[in-house]
Structure 1
Amino acid sequence: MTPAGQGKPLDLRSLIVETMQAADIEQVMVIENSVYPHPWTRGNFTDSLDSGYEAWVAREPNFQLAGYFLAMPVVDELHLLNISVRADLQGQGLGLMLLDRVTQLARKLGMLSILLEVRPSNQRALAVYERYGFVRIGLRKAYYPAAGHTREDAIVMRLCL
């Protein structure tokens, strides 16, 4: 999740949520590059799809991507690797809707919890995750690339199901 953008009102009921396909990566990359200072690469997404990770997109009726998430099942835990909402649609509940989908998916897969990492500097995402019920369980030192040649820690959060 990233800082709020300015955008058109979104009718969440009109969105189509379906599995991500290789053909979606072009639109995914547009969103990824516009909302993150250190975005995933095309290879990260391709490798995730090739590995069979859970990859889902939310699509507007005009077929434009509104957001997406990728998650990796590990034993009894679903690791949320990436969740993103198009900048012009942020702040309208789509991130929460995607978190609901992640939670539904985790339960369907028989997972006991959801794990994620988030930058301490991403206060908006932290607030959303905490409001959703995630709790801070740890810190990964120098986990994320940051400005220049520095690194930023990651807060590790878990939601027990």
Structure 2
Amino acid sequence: MPHLVILYTPNLDKPAADGGIDMSSLCRALCDAMLSVRDEEDRQVFPTGGTRVLAYPAAHFAIADGGAAGEAAGLGSDYAFVYMNVRMAKGRSALVHHRVGETLNACVRQWFRPQFERRPIGVTVQVDEGHEVFDAKNSSLHPLFNKT
């Protein structure tokens, strides 16, 4: 943990000039943003080797009224949506939860600013803390970053 999972409408998989987003670069920016979050004692909140951002286009989707209001407003009917959910292990403070949310939201606002200005799009950022009933981790990534 933590894992940031992005679900998005596949109409965003086009060039930026056509209303798309470079999802790979967005994932990198969000991962870097997560790694920048510090707790109350100025420690990195998320372990470098355990931080992952994954994005998946939806195979099927429906949004709002299907585009009628967008057409009437002169914005087109090509609605888009992005849902981002970061899930972290239990035990962090409310301040850390807020810092994570604000950091990710600032990144999102910057990345999607051109989208918000040109097209009907919704973006949700959600932070969840989980109570695991089973949690096994197998990794050869952590040793790369846990050198002391």
Instruction: Tell me if TM exceeds 0.5.
Output: no
Name the structure with the higher strand share: 1
Higher relative contact order (CA 8 A, sep 6+): 2
Decide which structure has the larger Cα Rg and report it. 2
